[in-house]
Amino acid sequence: MSDQPSCPMGYGAAPQPATASATGSTTAPAGVATAAAPALAPATADVHHGAQLDFSADMSYGDYLHLDQVLEAQHPLSPAHDEMLFIVQHQTSELWMKLLLHELHAAIAHIARDDLPAAFKMLARVSKIMEQLVHAWDVLATMTPPEYSAIRPWLAQSSGFQSWQYRCIEFGLGNKNAAMLQPHRHAPNRLAQVEAAWRAPSLYDEAIRLMGRRGLPVPASHAERDWTQPYVASPEVEAAWLVAYRDPQHHWDLYQLGEELTDIEDAFRLWRFRHVTTVERVIGFKRGTGGTHGVSYLRKMLDVVLFPEIWSLRTAL
């Protein structure tokens, strides 16, 4: 294997620098001929394997991703070194949430149209995004209590509790609560998006309606209802799921849908658990910046079950 260093971006071997001798003259790296400068031009071009290097008239990688705007969006308010970690952690989580919502909304629409193959791909991606969000806590957990205490006064009342994207995810997964609209009333455009998610059927609502269209015994109370209300578990809905789970060969897509839902809630529970343990590790049982009881509030969230019959049916099988 060659000891020649690689370019950090993966575009071939990085050129080795020349070194100065004791007399001050320049010595080429081992194995490199000391040819005159003009003779190096073809070799230099070959290092780049024909890659375009001039983007004065074309769109570059940074242009496409708007990296100047993204990388200039971090504005620490405190003099503390660790605030950058706190900002980047939450900004990247919000980017993953944006993608999660993109996939979740599309999956719900596909289920409503009985297009399950496309929905399955999107739901699988939602689960993988949740895994990314779970592992993000590993990085934030490197912040110690004194390091967080140094930046906490600068956060004022801002809190992840106020994330409108997170609230849309909760609503899209069925955890409806009208009180959670209140933190967004100061921003009408954002409120409209959160309220639309609150009023729409959730992922689980559409899964239940799909079972009804397939002829499974779904009660009318759950096929059509006030979608703004929290979901209430039903023995009849569990019975409908059991039809699919007891005969998966004849109801394979419904059976697979049930397992996709299981994957999502499993990942979401892990995210909540890592959230509460990270918060306890960093601030103990202090109140959150948003006014909640911090760890005590987050522990209550661990008891929220999004798709109850998907879990209870396993006891009945």
Between 17 and 212, residue with greater pLDDT: 212
Model confidence at 222, pLDDT cuts 50, 70, 90, reads very high
- CA-CA-CA-CA torsion sign (45, 6, 1, 3): positive
Separation of alpha carbons 196 and 96, rounded Å = 20
Separation of alpha carbons 291 and 289, rounded Å = 5
Separation of alpha carbons 257 and 1, rounded Å = 47
Beta carbons within 10 angstroms of residue 51's beta carbon: 9
Q: Please answer whether residues 218 and 246 qualify as being in contact, where contact means their C-beta atoms are separated by less than 8 angstroms.
A: no
- CA-CA-CA-CA torsion sign (173, 179, 180, 186): positive
> Percentage of the chain surpassing pLDDT 70?
83
Question: For residue 27, what pLDDT is reported?
Answer: 55
CA dist list (Å): 166 to 99, 268, 271, 272: 12, 12, 12, 12
pLDDT per residue over 36-84, tens digit each? 555 555 555 467 788 999 999 999 999 999 999 999 999 999 999 999 9
Residue 35 has pLDDT above 70, yes or no: no
Separation of alpha carbons 166 and 147, rounded Å = 26
Separation of alpha carbons 12 and 182, rounded Å = 53
Separation of alpha carbons 238 and 308, rounded Å = 9
Separation of alpha carbons 121 and 98, rounded Å = 17
Separation of alpha carbons 71 and 36, rounded Å = 41
Q: Report how many helices (DSSP H) and strands (DSSP E) the chain contains, helices first.
A: 14, 2
Question: For residue 120, what pLDDT is reported?
Answer: 98
Q: Please answer whether residues 102 and 240 qualify as being in contact, where contact means their C-beta atoms are separated by less than 8 angstroms.
A: no
- Does pTM surpass 0.85? no
Between 196 and 16, residue with greater pLDDT: 196
Kindly calculate the radius of gyration of the chain based on its CA atoms and give it in whole angstroms: 27
Closest of 123, 106, 119, 227 to residue 178, by C-alpha:
227
Q: Give me the mean pLDDT over the 243-257 stretch.
A: 97
Question: For residue 218, what pLDDT is reported?
Answer: 97
pLDDT per residue over 143-201, tens digit each? 999 999 999 999 998 988 899 999 999 999 999 999 999 999 999 999 999 999 999 99
